[in-house]
C-alpha cells in the first residue's frame, strides 16, 4: 500500500503542476496578443511600411495572392524586423484579414481576400511590382495559343 500512496501523491503533484503550466501558458498567450497588437499599432501609426517595395505573388489563382517584401532591410523595415520577428516563423495581424508573416528570411503580407491588397497598399504607401504575374500571364497566353492551334489542326 505504501507504493500506492506514493503514486497517488505523485499524481496529485503532477496534476497541480500541469494546471499551473496551463495557467502560465494562457497568461503568456494574452501577453503575446497584447504585444502583437502594439506592434501592429506602431507599424500602422508610424507608417513604417511607407515606401517599402513588394512583389505581388499569386499561387494558382487570386484566392492565394500575397505581397513579398523585396526591398532593403534598412530604416523602418529593419525596425519592423527587430520588433516583430521573434522566431524564424512568426505571424501577426496588422488588421482584419491582413497578416504580416516572417518565414525564415522572407517577409510577406498575407490577405484573406485579394481585394484588400490595393486599398492596403495605397493606404500604407507601398511600392508594388507585378513582374511575376505579367510573366505568368504571357506564358499562359502562349500556352493557350499553342492549344488553340492544336484544336484547330485536329478539329477537336
Spatial distance between the Cα atoms of 17 and 150, rounded to a whole number of angstroms: 70
Q: Render pLDDT for 121-143 as a digit per residue (tens, 0 to 9).
A: 999 999 999 887 788 788 889 99
Cα dihedral value 33, 34, 36, 40, nearest 10: 130
Q: Render pLDDT for 78-122 as a digit per residue (tens, 0 to 9).
A: 999 998 877 788 888 999 999 999 998 899 999 999 999 999 999
Provide the grid cell at 22: 496551463
C-alpha distance from residue 42 to each of 37, 46, 48 (Å): 9, 6, 8
pTM of the model: 0.76
Q: Render pLDDT for 104-114 as a digit per residue (tens, 0 to 9).
A: 889 999 999 99
φ/ψ of residue 94, rounded to 5: -85, -35
Q: Render pLDDT for 10-59 as a digit per residue (tens, 0 to 9).
A: 999 999 999 999 999 999 999 999 999 999 999 999 999 999 999 999 87
Amino acid at each position: 500500500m505504501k507504493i500506492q500512496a506514493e503514486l497517488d501523491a505523485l499524481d496529485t503533484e503532477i496534476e497541480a503542476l500541469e494546471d499551473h503550466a496551463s495557467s502560465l501558458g494562457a497568461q503568456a498567450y494574452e501577453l503575446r496578443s497584447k504585444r502583437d497588437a502594439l506592434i501592429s499599432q506602431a507599424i500602422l501609426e508610424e507608417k513604417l511600411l511607407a515606401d517599402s517595395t513588394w512583389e505581388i505573388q499569386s499561387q494558382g489563382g487570386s484566392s492565394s495572392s500575397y505581397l513579398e517584401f523585396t526591398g532593403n532591410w534598412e530604416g523602418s523595415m529593419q525596425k519592423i524586423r527587430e520588433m516583430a520577428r521573434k522566431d524564424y516563423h512568426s505571424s501577426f495581424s496588422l488588421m482584419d484579414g491582413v497578416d504580416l508573416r516572417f518565414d525564415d528570411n522572407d517577409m510577406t503580407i498575407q490577405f484573406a481576400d485579394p481585394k484588400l491588397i490595393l486599398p492596403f497598399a495605397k493606404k500604407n504607401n507601398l511600392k508594388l511590382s507585378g513582374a511575376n504575374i505579367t510573366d505568368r500571364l504571357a506564358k499562359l497566353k502562349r500556352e493557350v495559343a499553342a492549344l488553340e492551334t492544336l484544336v484547330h489542326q485536329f478539329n477537336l
